[in-house]
Structure 1
């Protein structure tokens, strides 16, 4: 999809998308935005107002009205924003996606989108609209047969022009907003396609190849450690999970450094990279659950998507992207329940459940990240079903002992629209991981499972500010919603990018 900027007024278009606020006040009635009201009176003889009244369109959130009309605007989509006082960037994204889905239903190819004065930061609003436009248009047909000539496949809208009041006075700011949106969306789409691909396509070596390609395309440093290199570093927890697979484990370390000037801060992003999780000898018995274990590398996908976006945006920040990639399989070499592993920081782990493998791989990845001397570490992992039970399928769990980092990530999530909720790191719950034969077990009691998983990870970060995001819920969507189509969501990419960019700004100004 192509994105363009333009200035009002809206005069002609194949398809126009116009935002409408709901009336405020107890007895207020809905009225069309001024630009459309004028056209409706002069060109359409009141047809739009009549249709809105008949369809009871009131500008409420999640509502829209699609019309075919004569004249200079042949297709018109009205989309509701609701109460202007309650408008958020995420509501604007969702309304945009809703409107573009309607434009797609009208088979529109070029859409002119008339951005009103939202009361929000207008540059941020342009970025949000652009993100939603690019993401709603993404459809993953890689594994389907080519369409027949008479079949239509893909999103019909090919070009979106954003009409922005006052464009001439701040064009560069708006151009920069489009670039941020474009790169964030591209990173999100990379993550979506990694997660959506089956486990016979996205393997540990394939993830490593993706990292190498990113390094080649964007000038990143890349280091891929194989089994022997990981063994030399004492990564017993990671290699214990990997030992049953016929595919070699790949420890991926990408580094972005600014080309000019010293970095203002150094950060590490760590992603869980289980390209398939059978559960090991504690095999998953639910057919739906095991079939979806291609998604167990959603954290790794988010980290690689963020690498792509940040490398294109070029902040003055040094960022390390780390993934311990492997499968968790069953063979004669498989990890046994009761086995004891030694992580790279010397801590021993009694494996009482081989299906709690992600935390084992992350343990060595977190130790590796801290040794880099970074200022903060954030890990993302599809770690626990318990977090899905607690927060549902749209919200990630945030765990951190660092208040400043918690606030930063919450602010980044507010900007991206990716929902997170902070859960407690209740230290007393670590007792549930106590072992009589090792320093700890890898799982505790069923209750508080997402908390004990986070407490387990905490044992592998000594001093560096650290946060863990459990993304097991929002990594996959069961239906089209907003700008997310059914399937892999690419969750986490935009929050990570917003966090890194905010860190750059804060460090540069201090």
Structure 2
């Protein structure tokens, strides 16, 4: 089906590694080379008023820093102008008891942001942290590359300086491990930035079919088998939920299936340590359908209602390079949700992949409808566990705010693995109950189940709906409605789409163990 007439500019993803991405030179050495334009040096809060432990290269003593309002607390920065390069930047590292790997990531991000006018930057802070060299290299690289991300695809003149080179200082005995960690951090940041690109792209530039094209392109580069299902194929599959949500749109829906199979160095498949299925909600734009959303700022952000699918697609691109030993199958359910004369109406009944009939009581509760079909398909694969990720409910946002996503599940083992990956990546999760006694709120007079319950516990009600479609397979559901974007720059999260869940899913796949 042709694209809408106003789609004048084709989608571009210059940050996508396989599509002419900007590359950042990464280097680790015992000292910084000539030509580095900005150098970050660690400064801790004062412990002994008589001791001046400020790096001499800054050219300022503790008293001068104090007069400038710099105390050395975590993430504080002070740019010290220089007549000639390099420019030095004091970076607060906080008290010793605060110096975790997550804090080191934040410190790196604060420096990279303060050095935003410079293309070649160097950082000498890791030796202030009691963090192993590989982890230090990883989180420093993540922090810098994530913080310097900007979505500029549709700007004629980008008003930012792309990062061209990142130099890290390490002890001679730590260079190899730090460099290895830096490479891992680069892969993780690249994947998260791809998810950000996808979520930040306007819906007229990224339709469901466009996302299918992106998946085919990145899949070919990153060792993934990709299959894109068009509308006719989806009808044949019986995905009534996805088709019902798509009914009001002029754009065709797509289901994107990606498969990762672990291989040895020769490219031959090896026995997987487990089989994980991932499911992502890909609502390319959510108007609410017939249950139209109010016209407020949140409506404008509904181009990001595909952030779950974006996170899954981006996570899949990292698995081969990081040597993941689990096999991973992913299902992305993609459509927009629009009102029109052909749109699904309140009271309509849809029939899903597994034969379940669902009464639609609210067309703005569409995410669970598209996910249910994917969960049916994932369950047919008989994986060891299923994890879905979706910008699903405002209730999760109201309960947990913008920093923490909700997780529900039917088996504690897979939930615990998700929580462990959350901690490892500093992408916060909080477990909410799957309170089975609320399930009766989803009863329907005319169908097997309805898509809406009562006024309260909306995130749990949505999770209970999804639980009906996974059977007894261990399953966890990540509701990321609150964490999909930030309204202003904070640490390694620039304003706009966060890419939340991408690094979490990568870590989960790498460390996945069968829960049954």
> Normalised by the size of structure 2, how large is the TM-score?
0.89
CA contact (8 A) 2:378 2:386 kept: yes
> In the alignment, is the contact (CA less than 8 A) between 1:412 and 1:495 conserved in 2?
yes
Match 2:90 to one of 73, 78, 96: 78
Structure 2 residue matching 1:177: 3-state secondary structure: helix
Structure 1 residues 326-475: aligned runs within 5 Å: 326-475=335-484
**Structure 1 CA distance, aligned partners of 2:132 and 2:372?**
40
Please say if 1:59 is aligned against 2:72: yes
Aligned to 1:95: 107
Structure 1: gaps (5+ residues): 148-152
Q: What is the distance in 2 between the residues matched to 1:31 and 1:119?
A: 22
Per-residue displacement from partner, 1:477-497 (whole Å, max 9, x unpaired)? 100111111111111100111
Does the aligned pair in 2 maintain the 1:309–1:497 contact within 8 Å?
yes
Report if aligned partners of 1:62, 1:80 keep a CA contact under 8 Å in 2: yes
Contact 1:220 1:255 in 2 (8 A): yes
Whole-Å separation in 2 of the counterparts to 1:318 and 1:99: 37
Alignment of 1:55-454 (within 5 A): 55-69=68-82, 74-105=86-117, 107=118, 109-146=120-157, 153-155=159-161, 157-165=163-171, 167-168=172-173, 170-260=174-264, 261-454=270-463
Q: How has the CA–CA distance of structure 1 residues 266 and 48 changed in structure 2, closer, same or farther, with 3 Å as cutoff?
A: same
| Number of residues of Structure 1 aligned to a counterpart in Structure 2 | 486
SS of 1:82's equivalent?
Answer: coil
Please give the alpha-carbon distance, in whole angstroms, between the structure 2 residues aligned to 1:458 and 1:76: 54
Sort the Cα spacing of 1:50 and 1:289 in 2 relative to 1 into closer, same or farther, 3 A: closer
- Residues 262 and 350 (structure 1 numbering): CA distance in 2 closer, same or farther, change over 3 Å? same
SS of structure 1 residue aligned to 2:127:
coil
Segments of 5+ residues of structure 2 without an aligned counterpart are 1-23, 265-269
1:69-98 deviations in Å (ceiling 9; x for gaps): 578x74211111222212222221111111
Displacement of 1:109? 3.1
The whole-number CA distance in structure 2 between the counterparts of 1:193 and 1:13 is 28
Q: Which residue of 2 aligns with 1:150?
A: none
Structure number with the higher helix fraction is 1
Paired with 2:151 and 2:49, the residues of 1 have a C-alpha distance of 42
CA shift for structure 1 position 462: 0.7
**How big is the shift at 1:118?**
1.1
Work out whether residues 271 and 381 of structure 1, in 8 Å CA contact, stay in contact via their aligned partners in 2: yes
- Does structure 2 retain, via aligned residues, the 8 Å contact 1:242–1:328? yes
Compared with structure 1, are the counterparts of its residues 136 and 8 closer, same or farther at alpha carbon in structure 2 (3 Å cutoff)?
Answer: same
Q: Is the 8 A contact 1:109 1:156 kept in 2?
A: no
For residue 263 of structure 1, report the CA deviation from its aligned partner: 1.4
Q: Does 1:20 align with 2:43?
A: yes
The SS at the match of 1:142 is coil
- Shift, 1:268, TM fit: 1.1
Query: Whole-Å Cα distance in 2 between the matches of residues 384 and 307 of structure 1?
Result: 25
